[in-house]
Structure 1
């Protein structure tokens, strides 16, 4: 069991590890934690450790059939969604959705270079 003071880790399969590292560290405020091999790196932001597994990594092995895939994504809280959207668009990034508003706040979906989803969320409170 993970202790409360440890990172919460999420694995994303990526096509190009260095491209993914550059994306997360340049645009979303992550810091490179380790890059022990060209097939794998991990980046951190707060308590989130994002495992970036390239095609040659053991984490990129095929998922057993029937395991399914979904709309899973990491969820990053931002102070001002409009400012973040402008900043990321100015950097040449495109979004996977329009802004969606609900009772809890507003969100937009972004994809990393491998197509993994990132939700940028601004709380209504």
Structure 2
């Protein structure tokens, strides 16, 4: 442990946001702002964009961004996968209908469980997004 840090100070002090690797920052910021209603916080084309909704910041790292550089062992960071941000919605079936009209890629059918209903969609680079409607309490 670094001796300059106070003993009781936690290593992690809070959530900054979520980073997604993207191929085209402009296309991605357009998707999040136009299809999902995010605000555009900042953009430095071609490398970087940041969008937000509520307390969530989504950092979009394009090719050449510092957050997209290869790992020391040569592994490349790439979009896609199964880890995902979860966005809360109201009336998930209505949201699904609207997304279908907008031709947003949908990975699966709506699933229901003890906590609520969810579906997975994709951004233009294949990064997964879960839309979640919690069970009424």
**Fold conserved between structures, TM > 0.5:** yes
Is the 2:46–2:63 contact (alpha carbons within 8 Å) kept by the matching residues of 1? no
- Structure 1 segment 1-125 matched on structure 2, within 5 A: 1-2=12-13, 8-63=16-71, 71-125=82-136
Distance in 1 between residues matched to 2:29 and 2:81, nearest whole Å: 23
Distance in 1 between residues matched to 2:101 and 2:71, nearest whole Å: 36
Max radius of gyration: which structure? Answer: 2
| Counterparts in 2 of 1:38 and 1:106: CA distance versus 1, 3 Å | same
Is the 1:12–1:51 contact (alpha carbons within 8 Å) kept by the matching residues of 2? yes
Distance in 1 between residues matched to 2:111 and 2:72, nearest whole Å: 33
Between the two proteins, the alignment pairs up a number of residues equal to 120
Distance in 1 between residues matched to 2:13 and 2:18, nearest whole Å: 13
Q: Kindly state the Cα deviation for residue 63 of structure 1 after the two structures are TM-superposed.
A: 4.3
> TM-score, length-normalised on structure 2?
0.80
Is the 1:101–1:107 contact (alpha carbons within 8 Å) kept by the matching residues of 2? yes
Tell me which stretches of 4 or more aligned residues in structure 1 moved more than 6 Å.
none
Is the 1:8–1:47 contact (alpha carbons within 8 Å) kept by the matching residues of 2? no
Unmatched 5+ stretches in structure 2: 1-11
**RMSD across aligned positions (CA):** 1.9
SS for the counterpart of 2:94 is helix
| Counterparts in 2 of 1:121 and 1:36: CA distance versus 1, 3 Å | same
| Counterparts in 2 of 1:23 and 1:90: CA distance versus 1, 3 Å | same
Unmatched 5+ stretches in structure 1: none
Distance in 2 between residues matched to 1:70 and 1:94, nearest whole Å: 15
